[in-house]
Structure 1
Amino acid sequence: MILESNAGRVAVHAKRTIDASGDAAVVARAGGDYYFGDGGRIQNPTMFFRLGGVDTEAFWSAYGSDTICPPWVTDAIRSARADGAELPREKVWIFRTPRPGELLVNATRLAGRDGRVLNVIDPEDFTIAEIDGRRQMREYADFLRETLPGCADAYVVDTGVEVGIRQTRSIAAEVTLRNDDVVNCRKRDDAIVRSPWPIELHDGARPKLHWLLDDWYEVPYGALLPMGLDDVIVAGRCLGAEHEALASARVTAQCFEYGHAAARAVTLSLEADVALRDIDVTELRRAMRRAGSSL
C-alpha cells in the first residue's frame, strides 16, 4: 500500500488491513467494488450541536420526555420558517447530556442549494456541508432561544468537530445485511454484532423510523468482508448493507463493535495463517464474548 502524507510518500507492507475510514477508502483504492446507497441516493449529513445555559427543568417540563419533538414545536418551526428562518427540518431531536444545564441538538438537514443529496466524498460537497451546517446551527439555536421554555439564556457550547456523515460508500460484501434482516429481527450463527437500533433513515423531507420493539437483529461477519479482497476488512458505516438496513447499522455503538470484530478477526487470521473469510467465526464470537461483547 502506498500512502501520501505531510511526511511524504511511504510504502506499507501489511499482511492485513482494517479499513476504518467509514468511507471504504482503502477498499476503493484497492479496486474493490462499492456502491452509494439506493441507486446513488444516500442519507443527508448533519451538524450536531450542544446548548449550554439551559433551565433544563423548565425545558423538559414543556418539551416532554420524548427526544422527538412534540407537535407544538414542529408548528413553531413551520411558523418561523414562514417568516424567513432557515429551518429545513421540522422534526428535531433533543437529548439530555451528563452536564447540568445542557442539551444535545440534532436538528440540521444538509443538502445542496438545489436540493440535491450531498456526497461528502467530494471535497466541494463536504465544504458545503461544513459551512451550511454551522449556518443552520445558528438558526436553530436562535429559534430555541426565542421559542422554547428554559432556553432564553442558552448559548452554543460547540458543534461537531466536523459534519456528521451518515453514509458514503458501502462495500460489495461477502454477505449483505438486508432490509428484511433488520425489520424481521433476524438472528444468525455468524453474527458479530447485536443491534436493537431502529431504521433511522435521513434522505428525504423528514426522517423515516421503523422501531424494533423489545427485539434485535444481528449483523453477519461477512458484511465486513469486501468481495475479491483477501486481506482487507472494514470497520464502520461502510459495511455491506442495503439502504434502509444501513440506516440502522451505521450508528456509533454498532461501529464500535465492528472495530472489535475486525481486530479480533485479523488476529485469528494471522495466527491461523488463513484468509479473513476463512477464519473460524465461532472462535471469533467466543473471543468477542470473552472481551465483553453481548452475542
Structure 2
Amino acid sequence: MSHLASGAVVDRRPSFRIDTDVAVAGGGAAGVAAAVTAARQGLRVTLVERYGFCGGGAVAGMSGTVCGLYEASDDPAQPPKQVVFGFAHEFTGLLERKGGLGPPVRYGKTYTRVHDPLVWREAADDLLREAGVQVLYHSTVTGVLLEGGRVQGLALYTKQGPATVHARFTIDASGDADVVAMAGFPSFIGDQGRVQNPTMIFRLCGVDTEKFLRTYGADTIMPEQISALIRTCHGRQYFLPRAKIWLFATPRPGELLCNCTRILGADGRELNTLYCADFTEAEMEGRRQVREYARFFRDHLAGCEASWVNDTGVQVGVRQTRQVRGVALLTNEDVVGARKFCDGIARSAWPIELHSGDKPRVEWLLNDFYEVPYGCLVPQQGEGLLIAGRCLSAQHEAIASARVTAQCFSYGQAAGHAAALCLENGCEPRQLRGEDVRARLNRDGARLDE
C-alpha cells in the first residue's frame, strides 16, 4: 500500500464547544424564523449557516420573491387577499420599511412580492441580532451528536477549527433534511427518487421596465406569444429549453428578476443536487443557459434592448431534494382539497407547481387555503429534533406547493415555539400537542383561526 493510501485524515486545529438551548441548522426563511422565535421565548439559540448571510433559496438561490402570502382567484379584479401572517408578515413588513420589497404583483391567478436579496440579508441580520441569537456564519454541519436515538446537537466545520454545538433541541432547517439523514432517521427523496429540476435565476439590468410592462402587461408569467417565440427560436439561434417563463420587475430601477432556465443533465435526467456531480453540472449548465436567455431577451423583448446580466444566484435554485418521514404526512389530496387540521401550524394557498416535462404545470387552489399539521415537523424516529422548511414531511406534489417562502417562515415560527414549549413542559416534540403550538402561534400573530 502506498504512503498516500495509508495516510490518516487529520485536523490538528484545536476544537471548541458551544452550549445552547436550541441549535438551528440552516439560515433560510425557516431557520431565521425558528431562531428568532425561540430566542424571543428567552432561550439561548445558536444558528449555523454555511454562507456569510442568511436567506437560503430566497437569497443564495435568488428566488427573489415572497410567494405564498395570498389567496388565488379566477377573478382578475380581485385585489390581493392575504392569508399568511405571523413571522412572514413581520419579515415582509421589515423588508418594506427598508425599501427592499415591491408591492404585490400578478402571478397567474394570485400575487407575489419581489424583494431585494441584499436587503433580505440585512433584515435577517437585524432580527437575529435584536433577538440575541448566536449566529455562526461560514460554518457547515458535518455530523450530528447522537445519544440513544436522541439528537444532542451538531458537529461543525469552521475556519477556526472543528466545533460541537451541544443543544437541548435541534431544528433541521437545512432544506435538504441533512440532520435527519446524518442521524440515520427515515427520509425519502421526491417521487421514488425523482425530483424537480433546479433553476439558475438571474437579474437583468439596463431594462426599460416601463416599456416592458406596457408591452407585456402586469402578469409576471409571460404571455403565450413569448412562449411561442421561445419555442420557435430554441435549437436554432439559441438554446432555450424552457418556454413558459417568469419575469419580475424588482424594487430596483431598470431591473428584471428572471426565472426561466430549465436545467437537466446531459443525459436528460432531472438533476438531484444531493449528489455532488449533479450539483456541479447544474451550476455550470445554469450559467450557460443564463447567457442564452439574456441574449434572447436582448434581441427580442421590448425594453430589454440594452440589458445585461447583473448577477446570478450564488448557487442554483433548488426546488426539491430530501423530505423527512414525519409523524404526519402532507398529502397531495390535503392540498387540492384545502384540508384544515385542528393542529394546523401553517396555511398555504399557493398552487402546486411541478417544474418538469416540457413546461411547468400549475394546479391552482382557488379562494381557499389548506393547513399543514404539526406532525409534518416531527420525525417518525428520533427525539430532540424538529424540522422546518421545504424538507418537511410531504408528498411529491404537495411539496411543490408547500415549499415556498411564506410557508417556510411559518414552519420556522412553529418549530421555534414548539422547541420552547418542549423545554417548558419537559417533553419531546412528539409528545407535544400540536393544538398547543397552534395556540402559541395565534398569540404571536399567526391569525390561524381568523
Residue 55 of structure 1 pairs with residue 55 of structure 2: no
More strand by share: 2
Kindly provide the amino acid, as one letter, of the partner of residue 64 in structure 1.
G
Work out the number of aligned pairs and report it: 295
Matched, 1:32 2:185: yes
| Pairing 1:190–2:343 present | yes
User: 1:284 aligns to what?
Assistant: 437
Shift of 1:46: 0.6
- 2:390 aligned counterpart, secondary structure: coil
CA-CA distance at 1:84 after TM superposition: 4.0
Q: Residue 142 of structure 1: which of 295, 319, 344 is its match?
A: 295
Alignment of 1:5 onto 2:140: no
Structure 1: which amino acid aligns with 2:266? R
| Shift in alpha-carbon separation, 1:13–1:82, aligned structure 2, 3 A | closer
Distance in 2, Cα, partners of 1:23 & 1:196:
23
User: Structure 2: how far apart are the matches of 1:232 and 1:290?
Assistant: 24
List gaps (5 residues or longer) in structure 1.
none
Q: TM (normalized to structure 1)?
A: 0.96
Equivalent residue, structure 1, for 2:352: 199
1:160 & 1:11 partners in 2: Cα distance? Answer: 30
| Misfit runs of 4+, over 4 Å | none
2:333 counterpart letter in structure 1 = D
Q: Is the CA contact (8 Å cut-off) linking 1:193 and 1:219 kept in structure 2?
A: yes
2:414 corresponds in structure 1 to: 261
Query: For 1:94 and 1:290, how far apart are their aligned partners in 2?
Result: 37
- Measured in 2, the distance between the counterparts of 1:234 and 1:221 equals 10
Taking only the aligned residue pairs, the percentage that are identical comes to 54
Which segments of 5 or more consecutive residues in structure 2 lack a partner in the other structure? Answer: 1-144, 146-153
Shift in Å, 1:256? 1.1
> Which residue type is aligned with residue 357 of structure 2?
G
User: Alpha carbon RMSD of aligned pairs, Å?
Assistant: 1.3
Q: Indicate conservation of the 8 Å contact 1:194/1:294, yes or no.
A: no
2:308 match: 155
**1:72-129 CA distances to partner (integer Å, 9 max, x unpaired)?**
1012111221314111101011112112221111001111011112111111111111
Partner residue in 2 for 1:224: 377
| Cα distance between partner residues in 1 of 2:237 and 2:297 | 15
- 2:362 is equivalent to residue 209 of structure 1: yes
Secondary structure at the aligned position of 1:246 is classed as: helix
Q: Is contact 1:192-1:221 (8 Å) kept? A: yes
Q: How does 1:104-143 map to 2 (within 5 A)?
A: 104-143=257-296
TM-score, normalization: structure 2? 0.64
Asked whether the 8 Å contact 1:41–1:203 carries over to 2, the reply is: no
**Is the CA contact 1:74–1:91 (under 8 Å) kept in the aligned structure 2?**
yes
Q: Work out which of the residue numbers 78, 94, 110 in structure 1 matches 2:231.
A: 78
* Partner deviation per Cα, 1:116-149 (whole Å, 9 max, x = no partner): 1211111111111111111111111111110010
